[in-house]
Amino acid sequence: MINQTKVIFFLLAGLFAFLFLVFIYYLYAEKFNENAVMDNDYLDLQKPDQLAPEKSTQQNTNNNLNTKTNTSTNVGIFNKKTGTPEKQVFNISENKYTYPEARALCKAFGADLATLEQLMEAYRKGADWCNYGWLDGQLALYPTQKETWEKLQKNDDPEKRKACGNPGLNGGYFDNKDLRFGVSCYGVKPEPRPHEKIKHPLITDADAELHLMIDKFKQDIDNITVLPFNKDKWGAC
């Protein structure tokens, strides 16, 4: 009887120990998964391939940026904003400035050379321009939103699909100060001048093909016949 009691005791103790270990396992597994998600959110801006120095040449960089320009169209204009202006990151588009020139260029706009942290914050707010810009610390980066990246993936041409890098911040540290990029400044952004007001939304190869067909039909619109609603009425209204 005593031996049977001991066996039952050890079985129960073993069962409780097993359940306790299972509980600990799932507790730590859940905590690990939670941390992993948090790390992934942070790594969206910190992937090594996004903040490491670019391996491509400056010529390849400009070709990629030109690829985006060639797949855009004009839709709408930017309107002047009202209210008190706030400081923000803005990019100078021409890729012709060296790092030593970058700070002076921003000062000419009454601004400072932007920092990595300021560009990160701009990215979180939706900054999205496919153009390198010098930053403080001899970095040259540009932000790409996931929506833009996903749209570029619809292109057939592999070069167009990677024209704007990956979602997040693309670029990194460049040892050569004489490379020529755009510049990202931090300050009150000037109001758009006439040549800066036109919007250039990104379009895919399929979008471009559709626009070509639309233009073709518009040119021949007078030779295309529209039928009446019925034998008595032209339209339903």
Q: For tokens 């010098």, what's the residue?
A: 134
Tens-level pLDDT at each residue, the chain (237 residues): 556 676 676 677 777 777 777 676 655 544 433 333 223 333 333 443 444 334 333 333 433 444 344 444 445 554 556 667 899 999 999 999 999 999 999 999 999 999 999 999 999 999 999 999 999 999 999 999 999 999 999 998 899 899 999 999 999 999 999 999 999 999 999 987 776 666 666 777 777 778 788 988 999 999 988 888 898 889 988
pLDDT for the residue numbered 142: 97
The Cα diameter of the chain in Å comes to 105
Which amino acid, one-letter code, is at 161? R
* This prediction's pTM: 0.58
pLDDT digits (tens, 9 = 90+) for 127-186: 999 999 999 999 999 999 999 999 999 998 899 899 999 999 999 999 999 999 999 999
Query: N- to C-terminal Cα distance for the chain?
Result: 96
Closest alpha carbon to 160 in 198, 204, 199: 204
Alpha helices in the chain (DSSP H): 2-43, 48-51, 58-70, 99-108, 116-124, 146-152, 158-161, 205-219
pLDDT for the residue numbered 84: 78
pLDDT for the residue numbered 183: 98
pLDDT for the residue numbered 64: 43
pLDDT for the residue numbered 200: 67
Q: How many H-runs (helices) and E-runs (strands) does the chain carry?
A: 8, 6
Closest alpha carbon to 132 in 184, 175, 192, 174: 184
Q: What are phi and psi of 139, to 5 degrees?
A: -95, 150
